[in-house]
Structure 1
Amino acid sequence: MTRATRRYSAVPRWVIVLAALGACFTLLPLVAMATRVNWGDFGALITSESSVDALLLSLRTSVSATVLCVVFGVPMALVLARTSFPGQRVLRALVLLPLVLPPVIGGIALLATFGRRGLLGHTFEVLGIQIAFSTTAVVIAQTFVALPFLVVSLEGALRVAGTRYEAVASTLGARPTTVLRRITLPLVLPALLSGAVLSFARALGEFGATLTFAGSLQGVTRTLPLEIYLQRETDPDAAVALSLVLVVVAVLVVGLTLRTGSVDAGLARRPRLAVVTPARETHSAADGS
């Protein structure tokens, strides 16, 4: 390797300077927050009854919301990526709308749908089911804002992966459900896992829609972001300590997402085996006959 080759960099120096400034802009607030933590009372601040209740509620509801995102998001991504129909672009825009809507507007929309006088809420009230201002409302609000993250991740992966493996499996006689289970899902499994993790992180940090649609009742609807907001007025030290806890959880989630992406290449090779296997079985059967 020559000296000129060693000195060459594909990134101009001014780009590196701007990247460093952007990194400082992101990291300095976190460092400043860490310096404000009362480390002597940190354990007591994050283990109070209200804080523990809020953390446990956030974890439970976020897991439930993530499950719903997978249940509904996978079919939505498949339909958007593998089919073509009139109004598809409009539907995609509406599905992704919660990404750009202020969360409080999402909460108002959910109230208009599931509130006591809402589009569906009145029917539920007649049946004796109250959704608004309940733990169920927290899960619905979190699912509403987190679902687009999974749909975007998975639809993009499906489009990049293409349909060549699925077409081969179909010509070998595999049914659509078998193709989905043996070919499509293994092919985009890293994207599915990444989207699920991102959805969990978004649900965990949800604030505006939850406050508007579910309220703030300790142990029922008061999640960790709501607890931090309330503590900010009465106990700033507790608010900073709980904020640090949420930051640590977010860092772990991001790390898990990156870890999931690192196994992308290994998982992506699995569908090829699923395609080749039926062909070998077909040839073996023909030889035997």
Structure 2
Amino acid sequence: MTALVIAEHDNATIKGATLNTVAAAAQCGGEVHVLIAGHNAGAAAAAAAQIAGVSKVIHADAEYLAHGLAENMAAQVLAIAGSYSHILFPATASGKNIAPRVAAKLDVGQISDITKVIAADTFERPIYAGNAIATVQSADATKVITVRTTGFDPAAATGGSAAVETQAAQADSGKSTFLGSEIAKSDRPELTAAKIIVSGGRALGSAEKFNEVMTPLADKLGAALGASRAAVDAGYAPNDWQVGQTGKIVAPQLYVACGISGAIQHLAGMKDSKVIVAINKDPEAPIFSVADYGLEADLFEAVPELIKAL
């Protein structure tokens, strides 16, 4: 058995989600190969070759692979899919876009969002917003899998010495074209990769209060800023800060939830955090059921005091 990991990269460096996916692939048994499909992505291929546990890197290079368009990426994966028992993608926006196309073309069922590998054909995945864990067994010859990256510790980025093999790029599908992107730039850590996250909820009351109360705490802790869906829907925080079932799934070392009640959809996105601190004046707030440390207090008083103490 050999597993293929579809790497996420920026043509120069490997994104963290790839390391978690390699760790999951290693647990499937057999060798682990990594596909780097991009443009002028030699540096990314070299970085992938350094990942511990990877035995081969397959490098396909073409201008139309530069931005990871799903149609072209799926064609590239399908060109080599016959050699693999498992094809794994990070369960990110990109991976979720490509994996179903590959599964459909191979006429196999996709196994989504796995958090544990029990055996080469058996996996665990959360259902009902994480309230239950389903054990899924697949009889398909090729397992197409997306990996919830918070469920696996990342493979070491160095220590490996895989061979890099050049693969001919498949022809441009012509079905989609990359026109441009608007990248939100921030000095803060990326939300899904941050070791510390400070999140605010509806109780903050306004975008001004959100910024006034949460930003100094995040600055003090060197943390990324997150928000509940209620806060995002109310316009207190941008959409890319949303943590939860319909936002980003995170598992930092420390998660500080301020004024977040803890609706099930939010808990699904952060309950795997190593240490959870909740500040809420409602003693019945569900967030306290998952918190390691809970402070029943008015956040407008507690957070400034916390900042002073830090």
Q: For the pair shown, which has the larger CA radius of gyration, 1 or 2?
A: 1
**Structure with the higher strand share, 1 or 2:** 2
TM class, shorter-chain normalised?
A: under 0.3
Q: TM-score, normalised by structure 1?
A: 0.21
Q: TM-score, normalised by structure 2?
A: 0.20
| Greater relative contact order structure (CA < 8 Å, 6+ sep) | 1
